Amino acid sequence: MSFENLAVVTRGGIHTITIKRPAKLNALNRQTLQELYGAIIDASGDDKVRVIVITGYGDKAFVAGADIGEIRDQSPVEARSFSQFGQNLMSMIQSLDKPVIAAINGFALGGGMELALACHLRIASDTARLGLPEIKLGIMPGFGGTQRLLRLVGTTLALEMTLSGEPITAQRAHQLGLVNQVVAADELEAAISSMAKPLVKAAPEAVRGILQAIMQGADINLEAGLALETARFALCCATEDMKEGTSAFLEKRTAEFKGR
């Protein structure tokens, strides 16, 4: 599949999707959202892809939000479908069984922050700014931001960020647990690679089980979460990779997982 507003490349099991609308600071218009949907579907069905990285083109913005020009000109009915499409895309990313890492290389505002929050892991450059500024446009987040931010930081901070609309620094986002790491801008690529490479080599069934247990576990009660954990643990134990991982430990060698 070819894209106008995305650059995609797979190297060593790591599939990098770069959102590329530099004239609009990589803002998500409908076309870009649709392309991103297609790119994620492609990557999810490709066995060679073990980890997905999403980033923004250039050194200024990850994604500066949904496209404000399109928002202004849409009817209420179109706005509803725009929000639902964005939400579906973010939910699809969050529920993927391959790890998705956001490389936040600059402004992650509105839909950009919502996209980052839907990813499983986030590394920000120290120049990044994260925020949900929709209130300043007379609207509110519509791609799942209120719900994901609430679940990550609780009501107090979620209300502060959405009602003020003020972005926060990458360092503050790290203090709040919104990003896993903050690195210098010129170290972002290396940090992403250090995070992604071990995941490429990890046993895929273990990765899938952990993603499902943690991501779904956040929204279900403890008993149901524990049952899910046991089911996924048992599935891991049915793999050759489990035999390899445990044997390698006992034989004091590095495990070589085969995805079987």
Q: Is residue 110 near ligand COA by the rule CB under 6 A?
A: yes
Distance of CA 206 to the CA centre of its chain: 19
> Which residues are within 8 A (CB) of 37 and not within 5 positions of it... i.e. 6 or more apart?
85, 89, 92
Structure tokens at 102: 């956001």
x/- contact string, 11-30, with ligand COA (CB under 6 A)?
-------------xx-x---
| Host H or E run for residue 209 | helix 204-217
Structure tokens at 226: 């524990």
In the region spanning residues 49 to 78, those forming contacts with ligand COA, defined by CB under 6 A, are 64-69
CA angle 71, 76, 77 (to 5 degrees): 110
Whichever of 133 and 144 has its CB closer to ligand COA, that residue is 133
Compute, in degrees rounded to 10, the torsion defined by CA atoms 172, 176, 178, 182: 40
Count residues binding ligand COA (CB under 6 A): 16
> Which residues are within 8 A (CB) of 71 and not within 5 positions of it... i.e. 6 or more apart?
79, 82, 137, 139
* Residue of 3, 57, 62, 107 that binds ligand COA (CB under 6 A): 107
Whichever of 25 and 202 has its CB closer to ligand COA, that residue is 25
Q: How far is the CB of 139 from ligand COA (least distance, A)?
A: 7
Q: Is residue 145 near ligand COA by the rule CB under 6 A?
A: no
Q: How far is the CB of 58 from ligand COA (least distance, A)?
A: 11
Report phi then psi at 55, rounded to 5: -145, 175
Among this protein's residues, is 166 annotated catalytic?
no
Q: How far is the CB of 108 from ligand COA (least distance, A)?
A: 10
The CA-to-CA distance between both ends of the chain, in Å, stands at: 29
Which residue stretches of 21-126 are H helix? Answer: 30-44, 68-73, 76-94, 111-118
Check: CB of residue 106 under 8 Å from CB of residue 125: yes
Q: Is residue 161 near ligand COA by the rule CB under 6 A?
A: no
How many residues are recorded in the chain? 260
x/- contact string, 114-133, with ligand COA (CB under 6 A)?
-------------------x
From the list 35, 70, 114, 166, the catalytic residue is 114
Q: How far is the CB of 149 from ligand COA (least distance, A)?
A: 14
Among this protein's residues, is 134 annotated catalytic?
yes
Q: How far is the CB of 96 from ligand COA (least distance, A)?
A: 24
- Residues with catalytic function: 114, 134
Point out which residues bind ligand COA (CB under 6 A).
24-25, 27, 64-69, 107, 109-111, 133-134, 137
